[in-house]
Amino acid sequence: MHKKLLIPGPTEVGQEILSEQTRPMIGHREKEFAEFYGGITSKLAKFFELQPDCKPTVTTSSGTLWFDIIGRSIVKQKALVCVNGAFSQRCAQTIASCGKTADVLDVEWGKAVKPEVIAAKLDGGNYDTLTVCHNETSTGVRSPIAEIGKMMRKEYPEVIFAVDAVSSMAGDRTLPSEFGCDIVFGSTQKCFALPPGLAVALVKDRAIERAKQVPNRGAYTDLVDIFEFEKKHQTPFTPNISLLYALDRRMDLLLQETYAKVYQRHLDMANYTQKWAKQHFAMFPEAGAESITVSCIHNTLGKNVKELNQKLAEKGYMISGGYGKLAEKTFRIGHMGEWNLAGIEEVIGLIDQIWGL
Ligand SMILES: Cc1ncc(COP(=O)(O)O)c(C=O)c1O
């Protein structure tokens, strides 16, 4: 039996979207492709309410490519990387592996990254780039990016501010205009509810200008090249056209639903899940920093999540254990993408039955 996924990615993809991928191929240097791909980026610009100085692009890659792009094309010498979980840690490692200095601002797992601690570290540190993870999927923590962005624009306008919104973009609010950031990126297997294999990034012109000053940008990681091709509504290398068909359909559905309603739907699912979690367990994130796309629950009752998943599988569902060092201590329910409140209520009802809560 197919198990519907409530893990924090990949998430459930409906048949309508899966079917889009069976459409015939077109040449990626043909006019037909440019019209099609230009349509997708226009829909992205509309959905994310982009100002003229901020441009969308789609890479055939998972989200991690954007750690490499930042390391190769954005950081001149020294980045401050805020680390409050496993994915932001990977960001720091990736930037360092590109031969740049990646100073880590360590924040306790479960806590959000706050503007004051960033400011204290940036002061006199000669940083050219800052990275923050909006939605740390490993801990279910959502950091106050808009507040950080406001501080950055006011106090450190010369620092390029890049945001990992891999597990929140197209679910939570991630508008670049609200975030005050220069780059924000997400992966399609999360809130976009598509198969894995594409990443969406929204990039300010000033980040592209920065990239022009950075040597040795590589090939796949060359941000300047990516946006040179965007001018022709093309990608520098052969894209996954089948997934682009699926993304095109997804953008139609998201636009139909509207940005505000997509956000509200995710908020409703998070509120329901977290109210239930607090009744029986505790939330792992500090109060006020709970993600609205993935609930990371402190397993205070020491329940066996593997056994739960075996029983849920018989009903056609799957949730997630904790990530990395939090494997035993927490479990996670992903409520993103195509899920709605009724679906979450049903699955939580089943968990109640199985665990006798
Ligand atoms: C917050 C965050 N950043 C980065 C990544 C890496 O993204 P991908 O698996 O699409 O490469 C993930 C994956 O789960 C994530 O949750």
Residue 325 · residue 288 · CB < 8 Å: no
Q: Specify the residue for token string 């894209």.
A: 239
Residues 202 and 296 in one domain: no
Residues 142 and 219 in one domain: yes
Positions in the chain short of pLDDT 50: none
* CA 87 to centroid of ligand 1, rounded, Å: 6
Residues 204 and 283 in one domain: no
Q: Which two tokens stand for residue 59?
A: 């890479």
Residue 331 · residue 299 · CB < 8 Å: yes
- To which H or E segment does residue 45 belong? helix 31-47
* Atom number in ligand 1 closest to CA 199: 10
Domain boundary among 201, 224, 256: 256
d(CA 274, CA 288): 11
* CA 10 to centroid of ligand 1, rounded, Å: 10
Residues 148 and 284 in one domain: no
Q: Count Cα neighbours of 14 within 13 Å in the Cβ-side half-sphere.
A: 13
d(CA 346, CA 355): 14
pLDDT of residue 98: 98
Structural domain boundaries, residue 307: 4-11+259-355
pLDDT of residue 25: 98
> Is there a cis peptide before residue 52, judged by omega within 30 degrees of 0?
no
pLDDT of residue 319: 98
Residues 128 and 269 in one domain: no
Answer whether 165 contacts ligand 1 (Cβ < 6 A): no
pLDDT of residue 146: 98
Residues 218 and 230 in one domain: yes
Q: Specify the residue for token string 């990126």.
A: 185
Residues 217 and 269 in one domain: no
CATH number for the domain that contains residue 269: 3.90.1150.10
Residues 321 and 229 in one domain: no
Number of domains in the chain: 2
Question: Residue 313: helix, strand or coil by DSSP?
Answer: helix
Residues 307 and 344 in one domain: yes
Question: Residue 155: helix, strand or coil by DSSP?
Answer: helix
Domain boundary among 235, 256, 277: 256
Q: Which of 300, 279, 255 is nearest to 348 (CA)?
A: 279
Report CA-CA distances (Å) from 304 to 280, 316, 331.
14, 18, 10
Counting ligand 1 atoms within 8 A of each CB, the residue from 64, 66, 70 with the most, and so the one to mutate, is: 64
Counting ligand 1 atoms within 8 A of each CB, the residue from 5, 166, 189 with the most, and so the one to mutate, is: 166
Counting ligand 1 atoms within 8 A of each CB, the residue from 58, 66, 87, 198 with the most, and so the one to mutate, is: 87
Residues 234 and 134 in one domain: yes
* CA 166 to centroid of ligand 1, rounded, Å: 5
pLDDT of residue 195: 98
Residues 218 and 265 in one domain: no
* CA 68 to centroid of ligand 1, rounded, Å: 13
Question: Residue 40: helix, strand or coil by DSSP?
Answer: helix
Question: Residue 220: helix, strand or coil by DSSP?
Answer: coil
Report CA-CA distances (Å) from 226 to 26, 67, 203, 286.
20, 15, 11, 38
* Atom number in ligand 1 closest to CA 136: 1
d(CA 312, CA 132): 35
* CA 315 to centroid of ligand 1, rounded, Å: 28
- To which H or E segment does residue 127 belong? none
pLDDT of residue 252: 98
Report CA-CA distances (Å) from 254 to 47, 166, 204, 248, 261.
8, 17, 23, 10, 9
On the 0-12 / 13-18 / 19+ scale of CB atoms within 10 A, 168 is buried
Domain boundary among 231, 256, 281: 256
| Ligand 1: residue whose CA is nearest its atom 7 | 63
Answer whether 187 contacts ligand 1 (Cβ < 6 A): yes
∠ CA(292), CA(134), CA(186), 5° rounding?
A: 90
* Atom number in ligand 1 closest to CA 187: 10
Answer whether 64 contacts ligand 1 (Cβ < 6 A): yes
Answer whether 11 contacts ligand 1 (Cβ < 6 A): no
Counts for the chain of helices (H) and strands (E), in that order: 13, 15
Residue 190 · residue 8 · CB < 8 Å: yes
d(CA 11, CA 320): 11
* Atom number in ligand 1 closest to CA 168: 1
CATH number for the domain that contains residue 234: 3.40.640.10
Residues 322 and 252 in one domain: no
